[in-house]
């Protein structure tokens, strides 16, 4: 089994070649491969199924022992004409990657979670046999690497899981005209009804034409042709026109939301004089996210986010889903349980997941894996990965919030250390400088600095028999003052920073441990031994949260069991532990959105205005 879907669904061309499948493979525990020129001659003594890491069952190796350097090799041929460029793409390789084609070093990439590519046009010829060699280095015990939930001790334990080393997302070739559209960025403005498209053209020639054909549900809205004067261009199109207003609200038949995941398709044609035309299929969503008066607004309406924490692990593939159906199933089950989105936790998710979130209507919060320590190397790596994350994922309408830091991971002294505070502020401002269309959370959980959302983690709901703890938990969530002044772990804001009326969301809580197959194994933040007890515990926790007058969203921990952490709503095999309708009923009954109960809108406004004056 290997992944066959188009790996970059936001920017599709027809002429491509999937390089997933069986590759030659070898461990290099003494790190001798470069010195001994393995890219020239080597007996690769194993095979592996790409894009699955060697630690997974789906790789065909299923070895969880520690190997920090691995090598891959395969043969390929290119079906490209003389006026086409050939681009070699890697979805993600953990952590440091070197690539050779026919013994020639093509390039290096550092970072285990983002996509990268190399132009290999001058290194390949159509119809000839070529050899692709990849070396990946992933030192398990190097704490300066951004590894997220992967352990750095060599052992899966607690909230730390089995490592992923090497290739873990699709490898593919893309053939395109020499003059081609390399990038497009969409900036949508629902208030004016406009979409602004900025793009870059590779190998630009004067006289090159770009045509954008915009459709909504197969209805053509606009077809615009421009002749850029240089390699970059910008055009703005009013796609909503008179369709946007209805009784003072935006027409949900045209905007993107979880309830109405409307998307506009765009077919681009880029043609240089006397050259082949480049065709790209893309899409965008018209949506707006902002905060005001202590609330989050989606498309200018108050919107309660009912999210679930999603760590994106699969039992046989670890960070790599077996196929697209796995992504669709997770999103569909989450929606069936009454959630409208997910916080993608300590992982840069596959673009195929984001594609289905866009298509099915599922909010996502984008997060990056953290390093355990604060050093210049760790800082630099995280900065670079965020540049690449935003470059790759900017156009997905489902992403509403960026989360650069979680629970002070990588900034362990941020609550008191001004240097580490500067780092979180720098990330906050850097991300906003690159993306003005989304919210940014500075340090999810506690010790926050500058932030658009006040994100609180609180698992202190106790057990069903501990009524005193439960009552205290309910009380501490009841108002913004009590949330800020009664933190369960660290202070909600770092020294020198205070609450300024941001929307408060409970972004981690719950975590009911329930292992249906082996009730005595695994752990959670609270526990259950039967379906009935699991449902009762879920209702108990949701009831406490529902008493709050200031929460404007939740992130329940978590979607699926992950290795020894069995506090998911789904099993480790991503099957529901109980009927999803039961969870949905509890979510709908206890956690009502402010859109559904508008009287709460004014309650929150009154509370904030009274207490922030």
pLDDT in tens, 411-464: 999 999 999 999 999 999 999 999 999 999 999 999 999 999 999 999 999 888
CA nearest neighbour of 198 among 234, 228, 229, 239: 234
Mean pLDDT of the chain: 92
For residue 523, give both structure tokens: 């752990």
pLDDT band at 252 (very low <50, low <70, confident <90, very high): low
Domain spanning 289-612 has what CATH number? 3.20.20.80
Distance CA 458, CA 505 (A): 11
The answer to whether 343 touches 365, Cβ cutoff 8 Å, is yes
The answer to whether 604 touches 294, Cβ cutoff 8 Å, is yes
CA angle 318, 322, 328 (to 5 degrees): 110
- In the block, tokens 């690539």 appear at 99
The predicted structure's pLDDT at residue 595? 43
- Weakest-pLDDT range from 159-173, 250-264, 298-312: 250-264
The predicted structure's pLDDT at residue 612? 37
The predicted structure's pLDDT at residue 251? 53
Phi, psi of 188 (to 5 degrees): -100, 145
Question: What's the rounded mean pLDDT across residues 164-180?
Answer: 97
For residue 354, give both structure tokens: 């984001």
- Cis bond before residue 398 (omega within 30° of 0): no
List alpha helices for 457-563, DSSP H: 467-476, 480-485, 531-546
Identify the three-state secondary structure at position 13: coil
pLDDT band at 187 (very low <50, low <70, confident <90, very high): very high
CA distances from 578 to 227, 333, 370, 544, 570 (A): 58, 11, 33, 21, 8
CA nearest neighbour of 142 among 133, 152, 132, 130: 152
The predicted structure's pLDDT at residue 247? 37
Question: What's the rounded mean pLDDT across residues 24-30?
Answer: 97
pLDDT band at 601 (very low <50, low <70, confident <90, very high): very low
The predicted structure's pLDDT at residue 605? 41
For the cut 50, the answer to whether the pLDDT of residue 330 exceeds it is yes
The predicted structure's pLDDT at residue 80? 85
- Weakest-pLDDT range from 236-240, 332-336, 365-369, 451-455: 236-240
Domain spanning 11-176 has what CATH number? 2.60.120.260
The answer to whether 254 touches 209, Cβ cutoff 8 Å, is no
The answer to whether 347 touches 319, Cβ cutoff 8 Å, is yes
The predicted structure's pLDDT at residue 243? 55
**Could you tell me the end-to-end alpha-carbon distance of the chain, in angstroms, rounded to an integer?**
61
What strands, in cross-sheet order, belong to the sheet with 551-557?
A: 439-440, 399-403, 363-367, 341-344, 305-310, 551-557, 504-510, 454-457
The predicted structure's pLDDT at residue 600? 43
For residue 107, give both structure tokens: 């390039």
CA angle 389, 390, 392 (to 5 degrees): 65
pLDDT band at 465 (very low <50, low <70, confident <90, very high): confident
The predicted structure's pLDDT at residue 594? 45
For the cut 70, the answer to whether the pLDDT of residue 479 exceeds it is yes
Q: How far is CA 566 from the centre of its chain?
A: 22
- In the block, tokens 């981690």 appear at 508
Check for a shared fold between 11-176 and 289-612: no
Question: What's the rounded mean pLDDT across residues 98-127?
Answer: 97
Phi, psi of 221 (to 5 degrees): -100, -35
Question: What's the rounded mean pLDDT across residues 132-139?
Answer: 97
CA nearest neighbour of 188 among 297, 290, 287, 259: 287
Question: What's the rounded mean pLDDT across residues 284-288?
Answer: 97
For the cut 80, the answer to whether the pLDDT of residue 245 exceeds it is no
For the cut 60, the answer to whether the pLDDT of residue 517 exceeds it is yes
Q: Where are the domains of the chain?
A: 11-176, 180-275, 289-612
The predicted structure's pLDDT at residue 489? 85
Q: How far is CA 172 from the centre of its chain?
A: 21
The answer to whether 85 touches 180, Cβ cutoff 8 Å, is yes
- Weakest-pLDDT range from 2-11, 278-287, 491-500: 2-11
Distance CA 394, CA 386 (A): 11
For residue 410, give both structure tokens: 């990588």
Distance CA 297, CA 350 (A): 27
Question: What's the rounded mean pLDDT across residues 543-569?
Answer: 95
Residues whose CB falls within 8 Å of the CB of residue 574, separated by 6 or more in sequence, listed in order: 314, 326, 329, 330, 333, 560
pLDDT band at 521 (very low <50, low <70, confident <90, very high): confident
pLDDT band at 1 (very low <50, low <70, confident <90, very high): low
Domain spanning 180-275 has what CATH number? 2.60.40.10
For the cut 50, the answer to whether the pLDDT of residue 400 exceeds it is yes
């Amino acid at each position: 089994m290997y992944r066959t879907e188009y790996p970059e669904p936001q920017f599709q061309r027809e002429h491509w070649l999937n390089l997933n499948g069986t590759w030659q493979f070898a461990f290099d525990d003494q790190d001798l491969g470069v010195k001994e020129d393995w890219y020239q001659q080597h007996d690769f003594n194993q095979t592996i199924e790409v894009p699955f890491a060697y630690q997974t069952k789906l790789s065909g190796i299923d070895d969880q022992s520690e190997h920090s350097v691995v090598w891959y090799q395969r043969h390929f041929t290119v079906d490209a004409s003389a006026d086409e460029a050939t681009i070699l793409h890697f979805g993600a390789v953990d952590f440091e990657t070197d690539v050779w084609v026919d013994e020639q070093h093509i390039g290096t990439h550092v970072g285990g979670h983002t996509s990268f590519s190399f132009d290999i046009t001058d290194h390949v010829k159509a119809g000839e046999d070529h050899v692709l060699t990849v070396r990946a280095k992933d030192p398990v015990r190097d704490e300066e690497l951004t590894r997220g939930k992967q352990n750095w001790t060599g052992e899966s334990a607690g909230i730390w899981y089995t490592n992923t080393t090497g290739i873990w997302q699709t490898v593919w070739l893309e053939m395109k005209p020499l003059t081609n559209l390399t990038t497009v960025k969409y900036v949508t403005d629902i208030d004016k009804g406009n979409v602004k498209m900025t793009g870059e053209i590779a190998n630009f020639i004067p006289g090159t034409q770009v045509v954008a054909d915009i459709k909504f549900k197969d209805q053509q809205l606009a077809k615009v042709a421009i002749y850029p004067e240089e390699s970059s261009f910008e055009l703005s199109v009013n796609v909503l026109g008179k369709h946007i207003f209805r009784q003072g609200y935006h027409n949900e038949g045209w905007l993107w939301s979880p309830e109405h995941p409307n998307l506009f398709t765009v077919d681009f044609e880029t043609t240089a004089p006397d050259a082949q035309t480049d065709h790209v299929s893309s899409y965008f969503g018209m949506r707006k996210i902002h905060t005001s008066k202590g609330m989050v607004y989606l498309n200018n309406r108050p919107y309660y986010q009912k999210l679930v924490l999603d760590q994106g692990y699969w039992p046989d593939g670890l960070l790599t889903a077996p196929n697209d159906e796995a992504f669709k199933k997770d999103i569909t089950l989450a929606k069936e349980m009454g959630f409208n989105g997910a916080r993608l936790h300590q992982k840069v998710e596959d673009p195929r997941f984001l594609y289905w979130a866009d298509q099915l209507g599922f909010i996502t919060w984008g997060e990056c894996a953290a390093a355990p320590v604060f050093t210049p190397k760790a800082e630099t790596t995280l900065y670079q990965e965020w540049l690449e994350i935003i470059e790759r994922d900017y156009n997905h309408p489902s992403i509403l919030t960026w989360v650069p830091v979680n629970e002070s991971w990588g900034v362990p002294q941020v609550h008191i250390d001004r240097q580490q505070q500067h780092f979180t502020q720098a990330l906050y401002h850097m991300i906003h400088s690159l993306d003005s269309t989304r919210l940014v959370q500075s340090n999810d959980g506690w010790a926050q600095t500058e932030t658009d959302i006040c994100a609180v983690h609180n698992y202190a709901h106790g057990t069903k028999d501990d009524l005193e703890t439960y009552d205290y938990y309910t009380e501490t969530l009841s108002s913004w003052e009590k949330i800020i002044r009664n933190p369960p772990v660290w202070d909600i804001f770092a020294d020198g920073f205070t609450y300024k009326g941001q929307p408060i969301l409970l972004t981690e809580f719950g975590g009911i441990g329930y292992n249906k197959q082996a009730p005595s194994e695994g752990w959670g933040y609270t526990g259950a031994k039967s379906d009935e007890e699991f449902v009762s515990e879920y209702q108990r926790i949701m009831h406490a949260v529902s008493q709050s007058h200031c929460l404007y969203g939740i992130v329940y921990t978590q979607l699926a069991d992950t290795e020894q952490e069995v506090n998911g709503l789904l099993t480790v095999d991503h099957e529901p532990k109980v009927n999803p309708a039961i969870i949905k009923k509890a979510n709908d009954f206890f956690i009502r959105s402010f859109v559904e109960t508008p009287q709460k809108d004014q309650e929150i406004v009154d509370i904030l205005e009274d207490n922030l004056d």
